[in-house]
Amino acid sequence: MAEKDALARFFEENPLVEQIEILIPDLSGIPRGKRISPEVLRGEALPSFPSSIYALDSSGNNVDRAPLVWAEGDADRPVRLDLDTLAALPWKPSHAQVIGGLLDHDGRPFYADARAALRALEERFAERGLGVRAAFEIEFYLLDPENDAEGRPLLPPSRRLARRPRAIELYSHERLDEEETFFEQALRWAETLGLAVVAVESEFAPGQFEINIRPSDGAVRAADQALLLERCVRAAASASGRRATFMAKPFEGRSGNGMHVHVSLYDADGRNLFGERPDGEAMLRRAVAGVLRSMPEAMAIFAPNANSYRRFVPGSYAPHAPCWGWNNRTVAVRIPLARPNAMRIEHRVAGADANPYLVLAAILAGILDGLEQGGDPGPPVEGSAYDKLDPALPRSWESALAAFRSGTILRRFLDPRLLDLYALVRDTERERFESRVTPLEYEWYLATV
């Protein structure tokens, strides 16, 4: 009855809505789904989807070897919609959106749903009397709507420069002013969707930007906000004559797009576990130790495709070793300057192309491992981690998947069936990618070997 009352209020307050877009985040973090009428949403029967929606690669192609495709006849499962996420689309007033996930035949969350896996992990923290607060910082490029003659992306021409920008212009107000149409639209629409934007900035490459939203109480809510912010950015870019990309490394020789995740924990009395208790620094070090310990096996989540690994180059603000430091942007786990009630971990490894639900789940699994098993993260890095440490994280898609499969920490906190399915989907995509002959191979080898 409560759901029916909530739906009735929603449609009364949003009489223009004619279609509802169901968003089901797949294992790549891409929202898949379909549009349904309000009548279907009000009906007694739950909408359903093929379980194979969780066995799609980044291009939306079925992974035939996955157990959710042909082995079970591409069977449907019912969808549970999270009505707390139901909202009218500010860029399309006749449409609304709602996030959902599949249920198994017994009514429990389906094992392949990364969002449900994150919720289950959040509940494990709650059992310890701990609440999670998290925020995502996601970088992106604004591109020209058209590619060049060879299909490569272009930056939009700058009115101020009368050409396409080439300088980095980090923290430039002028670059923000040039994209004011985009930012006004994006921030207005974000506010309508309940996303509290706290900062925008130009980043470490021409055409690269970042929008930050306020930390959320709850891991699932934080990941939902990351997913919805990306949708909002894409819509605002399109409306302002731009394209937005979250591809990890769209340009050679320029900074890649990162997904930095800030995580803090609070006890039952509302105290920050890392900053407001006598054992705060000890708890922080235990958590960091677990995150660093699990980092190599989680790399396949933080860097999910071939392009992801091009981001990890020295001097690019992308870390290359499992290390930590106080107020140091060259490390993998940074402890920012903060008041005791805001003391937190900033995880700087993932690319903007990663699945926010799995990224946060992997980070929380590492934190929980540290809290349970203890450990010492070693001395914090002072100065440049690029100069002081050799690369020690998997540096290729294949080696990351090997570490992912052989790892033991994530499997203690996440359903092994989910992890096995993720590995299969990613590995199948890798095989497809590596089977393609690229233009560079023709250029280098066709006439020379």
Residue for token pair 């990663």: 354
Q: Who's near 424: CB < 8 A, 6+ residues apart?
A: 63, 65, 66
Does the structure show a pLDDT above 90 at 325? yes
**The predicted structure's pLDDT at residue 45:** 72
- Roughly how many angstroms between the first and final C-alpha of the chain, as a whole number? 72
pLDDT tens, position by position, 10-49: 999 999 999 999 999 999 999 999 999 999 888 877 789 9
Burial of residue 12 (CB within 10 Å: 0-12, 13-18, 19+) is exposed
133 in Cβ contact with 266 (< 8 Å): yes
Dihedral of CA atoms 393, 391, 385, 289 in degrees, nearest 10, equals: 30
Q: How confident is the model at residue 9 (pLDDT cuts 50, 70, 90)?
A: very high
How far apart CA 275 and CA 341 sit, in angstroms, is 6
Write out the two tokens for 391: 């690369």
Q: How confident is the model at residue 1 (pLDDT cuts 50, 70, 90)?
A: low
**The predicted structure's pLDDT at residue 168:** 85
Burial of residue 443 (CB within 10 Å: 0-12, 13-18, 19+) is exposed
What's the whole-number mean pLDDT along residues 403-430?
A: 98
Q: Same CATH fold, 123-414 and 2-109? A: no
Q: Please give the CATH topology (third level) of the domain spanning 2-109.
A: Ubiquitin-like (UB roll) (3.10.20)
Does the structure show a pLDDT above 90 at 356? yes
pLDDT tens, position by position, 402-411: 999 999 999 9
Look up the CATH architecture of domain 123-414: 2-Layer Sandwich (3.30)
**The predicted structure's pLDDT at residue 232:** 98
Write out the two tokens for 85: 């996420």
Does the structure show a pLDDT above 80 at 369? yes
How far apart CA 275 and CA 130 sit, in angstroms, is 14
Does the structure show a pLDDT above 80 at 250? yes
Write out the two tokens for 270: 């509302």
pLDDT tens, position by position, 205-234: 999 999 999 999 999 999 999 999 999 999
How far apart CA 379 and CA 289 sit, in angstroms, is 11
- Which amino acid would we find at residue 61? N
pLDDT tens, position by position, 121-150: 999 999 999 999 999 999 999 999 999 998
How far apart CA 31 and CA 82 sit, in angstroms, is 14
- Residue ranges per domain, the chain? 2-109, 123-414
Output the DSSP codes for 162-175: TB---S--TT-HHH
pLDDT tens, position by position, 147-194: 999 899 999 988 888 888 888 888 899 999 999 999 999 999 999 999
